Amino acid sequence: MSTKHEKLAFRLVCILERLNLGQRLNVQELADEFKTDKRTIQRDLNERLGFLDWHEKGTYYSLNKMRLGHLDKKDIEQFARFCSIQDLLPEIDRKFYQQQLIQSVQVKGLAYEDIKHKLDDFNLINQAIETRHLIEFNYRKVGQKEGKYYTLEPYILLNRNGIWYVIGIDREENKQKTFCFTQMVAISCLATTFEHNPELLKTIQENDSIYHGNQLSEVLIKINANVAPYFLRRDLLPNQKIVDKMESGELLLKCRDVNEMEIVPIVQYWIPHATIVSPVELQQKMEQKLREYLNR
């Protein structure tokens, strides 16, 4: 390596590759391997890679399990190049490039909606989140003829399965709500600020579900043995936990605090290998809708 920045980029590529594979990294071991001190490695992780979605920070570092495997070789090299020179960039440029890199990874591999025509609105909401300002907008739900105006304390812009959502507190009802970004129009940022609740943000970030309110406390799903490896390899259901690995090879999975619309489409995709065990009414409702579809 001929320059300081090339050495730094090489070190960051190695670290990112291991994190992407789900490895749990020890600060002292990294320092020994790269022949540097702990303080340098801590700066790599806490500052240069500080915008990653961490599951664990301290003596050991690991990524949020929902982010594992999202980076390919090109992503990793792009991240490393940026992180190795970010100290040379003005703060506003650093934040912009960080945001663009993270967003590109969050939706990677998905057939995601095109929001190019709404980038100004996207950036306005992002700015309101950072500065903790209220936003106002008109929102029309699918199937409704007229929309309604909302005033929202915006907490996060979130991508799920290629669709962007805004989650925050509805000022009128003082209730947490989720809005599909592309259905929001006439968006404006108000001068009024709100008191940020870090615990609420943490809850949103740690929950796979985007539907807050009207949630089922628990759903049990049985998975046939021939497709069980797919569900063991990574979580295919929101808030997925393994309840039992049966001798037959079947799995019993549990999903807590989820909306039926986050469960039913996935189960339908895996028919006949997946069955909703509880609540039984949800399985019956799904079967009835399938019968109605086949009898058209």
Q: What is the CATH number of the domain that holds 26?
A: 1.10.10
d(CA 71, CA 69): 6
**Cα diameter, the chain:** 70
Same domain, 8 and 97: yes
Q: What is the pTM of this model?
A: 0.52
The whole-number pLDDT of residue 84 equals: 57
Q: What is the CATH number of the domain that holds 258?
A: 3.30.70
Supply the Cα-derived Rg of the chain in whole angstroms. 22
User: What residues contact 206, with CB distance under 8 A and at least 6 apart?
Assistant: none
pLDDT digits (tens, 9 = 90+) for 11-41: 888 888 888 777 889 999 999 999 999 999 9
CA distances from 40 to 32, 181, 189, 242, 283 (A): 11, 40, 40, 39, 54
The whole-number pLDDT of residue 71 equals: 61
Is the pLDDT at 155 greater than 80? The verdict is yes
Same domain, 8 and 102: yes
Q: Say what angle helices 91-106 and 73-85 make with each other, to 10 degrees.
A: 170
What are the E-state strand segments in 12-84?
Answer: 25-26, 54-56, 60-63
Give the end of a domain, one of 172, 206, 240: 206
Same domain, 17 and 64: yes
What tokens were used for 59? Answer: 């003596």
The whole-number pLDDT of residue 164 equals: 83
Same domain, 183 and 237: no
pLDDT digits (tens, 9 = 90+) for 243-295: 999 999 999 999 988 888 888 988 998 999 999 999 999 999 999 989 998 88
Asked if 293 contacts 268 with a C-beta cutoff of 8 angstroms, the reply is no
Same domain, 221 and 274: yes
Q: 3-state SS of the chain: helix, strand, coil percent to 5? A: 45, 25, 30
Is the pLDDT at 68 greater than 80? The verdict is no
d(CA 90, CA 290): 56
Look at strands 175-180 and 148-160 and give their pairing: unpaired
Residue 111 in any domain: the answer is no
| 109 Ramachandran zone, left/alpha/beta (phi>0; psi -120 to 50) | left
Residue 261 in any domain: the answer is yes
d(CA 273, CA 173): 41
* Structural domain for 31, as ranges: 4-106
Residue 191 in any domain: the answer is yes
Which band of pLDDT confidence, cut at 50, 70 and 90, is reported for residue 7? confident
Same domain, 89 and 20: yes
Which band of pLDDT confidence, cut at 50, 70 and 90, is reported for residue 136? very high
**Number of domain units in the chain:** 3
DSSP state of 114: P
Which band of pLDDT confidence, cut at 50, 70 and 90, is reported for residue 143? confident
Same domain, 12 and 99: yes
Is the pLDDT at 88 greater than 60? The verdict is no
d(CA 294, CA 296): 6
The whole-number pLDDT of residue 90 equals: 45
The whole-number pLDDT of residue 67 equals: 58
Same domain, 46 and 71: yes
290-296 contacts at long range (C-beta below 8 A, 24 or more positions apart): none
